[in-house]
Structure 1
Amino acid sequence: MTRPAAAVSNVSLERRAWNIRRKALLMGEVQGQGYIGQALGVADVLATSYFHAMDWRADDPEWEGRDRFYLSIGHYAIALYAALMEAGILPEEELATYGMDDSRMPMSGMASYTPGMEITGGSLGHGLGIAVGAALGLKRKRSDRVVYNLMSDGELGEGSTWEAVMSAVQWKLDNLICLVDFNNQQADGPSRDALAQVPEAPKWEAFGWHAQEVDGNDLSALVAAFDTARALPEPKPRVIICNTRMCKGVDFLEAREQNHFVRVEPDEWARALDRLEEGKPQ
């Protein structure tokens, strides 16, 4: 496996994740809103994806030899934009245009607008199906590239997700790694209250996947899980269930009663940036 272009840098994963959080907060401040709780929570998963696991070229986002990253959860776009800026795929100068007319960074991700945004993922429950098709296509082209699909715990209640789960097993898609951001929040309330859920890893295993469940805010655990998923010899798809904490890294937001859309008051954006700064890694 070739290493990602960004691996030549000695910037730590911890610093990458911190940078992603900071950029997401700055974008949220521009609009005064955004799914910032999810962005802060999933930053470690994104840092591990782009700066440890994936192969890509900042100057050629459509390079055929890249690994693919599919954002099924379109409202997480603020988080992916931050990661794409950190990767140099999007210029950081565009940060102040987030969510504005004619911006390349709409509030819900759209592939037609944004370099590095592989799919339009607004209708939840479809991303994994698209990823299955892409992984199968790469197989038929005899490519060794990997498709990563980031989806939400709420999408585990969608029937189309489980059709995709079964299809991936049918086609032995060992080039597909599904990342589930399990923060136990969705629009109707806590995910576990919205639809009865049994322990997730055994369920995926019963369908024929290789499943791991990790602390999604523990970079060492994430690195180990990604490495295991890439190295697994069996011809089966892989899933990493990432238990994340909404608003991770900004303590007063973390302590707030969690819900799908975390409200941040106008005077709290600067305070959030200050609190994040206090935990800045070397």
Structure 2
Amino acid sequence: MKSYTGEDIRYLKQQANVIRKDIIHMTHKAKAGHPGGSLSATDIVAALYFHVMNVDPKNPEWEDRDRFILSKGHACPVWYAALAEKGYFGIEHLDTLRQFHSILQGHPDMKKTPGIDMTSGSLGNGLSLGIGMALAAKRDKRKYNVYVMLGDGEIQEGMVWEAAMSASHYGLDNIVAIVDYNGLQVDGWTKEVMSVHPVVEKWEAFGWNVIEIDGHNMNEILDAFQMAHKIKGPVAIVANTVKGKGISFMENVAVWHGLAPNDEEAEQAFKELAKEAELI
């Protein structure tokens, strides 16, 4: 990963703001989708696609590309927006989210969407799939890295920890798990539904190197990925985030896990994001 400058940080913040606008546009137009967890993941996804990952939108099947898996597949609006803004497909496709025959379905589908490295949506599976990719890279003597984003509610799934155990067992240094630790899931606060605390200590107990960050601080995000690339063994980035980040009435409100904004709400969201863009 290359180093970064203050101008890089500003650029990534701008990209994140554009992606947030796309998320609101897509879910509003579709009248469905999952804006809350998409917005909490936006800054990290922007950093990955516009600075960290070695990818080529003109050659999405390039064998040496870095891989990304959105294990919490319901948050696909953030992934679709990043891919469109990066140039994997035309921005006009964002108008077709969740429509019949659209390349942008309600969960990511690698057979439909350019740039999607793995179909996801059945929670708990993404880390196992990512570890398979990382093992394949080692076997084939390729240098690509694998990044897997998981939801904090998702890590209630036992399969996640079986996968975590295998990554440390094989000493994989080409995989990074990112926990979008926003504290909320569809039924409410994770600490009340099924506590995953203490998250850092859990990953460490399974043999992972853990970096804890503010998932909305771009400097901390880039520092974490730089550090991850220097560490031997699997790395987990625990990113403390805010569900619905960037839209005042969505922040830390569980209902926005899977609720699309209506006309008035979308208008208010766009106003807030426009004001934020002026401050970047």
TM-score (normalizing by structure 2) = 0.93
Q: Is 1:176 aligned to 2:189, yes or no?
A: no
Where does residue 75 of structure 2 map in the other structure? Answer: 76
- Whole-Å separation in 2 of the counterparts to 1:48 and 1:24: 16
Where does residue 253 of structure 1 map in the other structure? Answer: 250
Please say if residues 71 and 149 of structure 1, whose CA atoms lie closer than 8 Å, have aligned partners that are also in contact.
Answer: yes
- Whole-Å separation in 1 of the counterparts to 2:254 and 2:188: 12
Greater than 4 Å deviation, 4+ residue runs: 255-259
- 1:140-219 residue pairs with structure 2 within 5 A? 140-219=139-218
User: Alpha-carbon deviation of 1:10?
Assistant: 9.5
- 1:94-113 residue pairs with structure 2 within 5 A? 94-113=93-112
Q: Is 1:264 aligned to 2:233, yes or no?
A: no
- Whole-Å separation in 1 of the counterparts to 2:89 and 2:262: 28
1:239-276 CA distances to partner (integer Å, 9 max, x unpaired)? 10111111111123227566533453332112211211
- Whole-Å separation in 2 of the counterparts to 1:253 and 1:2: 34
- Percent of residue pairs identical: 36
Where does residue 6 of structure 1 map in the other structure? Answer: none
> Which structure 2 residue ranges, 5 or more long, are not aligned?
none
Where does residue 126 of structure 1 map in the other structure? Answer: 125
- Whole-Å separation in 2 of the counterparts to 1:265 and 1:241: 32
The DSSP-based 3-state class of the residue aligned with 2:227 is helix
- Whole-Å separation in 1 of the counterparts to 2:162 and 2:87: 35
- Whole-Å separation in 2 of the counterparts to 1:112 and 1:39: 22
> Which structure 1 residue ranges, 5 or more long, are not aligned?
4-8
Please say if residues 23 and 82 of structure 1, whose CA atoms lie closer than 8 Å, have aligned partners that are also in contact.
Answer: yes
1:201-251 CA distances to partner (integer Å, 9 max, x unpaired)? 12211211100111111111111111100122x2x1001011111111112
User: Alpha-carbon deviation of 1:52?
Assistant: 1.8
| Letter matched to residue 42 of structure 2 | A
How many residues of Structure 1 are paired with residues of Structure 2 in the alignment? 276
| Letter matched to residue 75 of structure 2 | Y
User: Alpha-carbon deviation of 1:93?
Assistant: 1.7
The DSSP-based 3-state class of the residue aligned with 1:267 is helix
Where does residue 41 of structure 1 map in the other structure? Answer: 40
Computed over aligned residues only, the root mean square deviation of the Cα atoms, in angstroms, reads 2.0
Structure 1 residues 77 and 55, CA gap change in structure 2 (3 angstroms): same
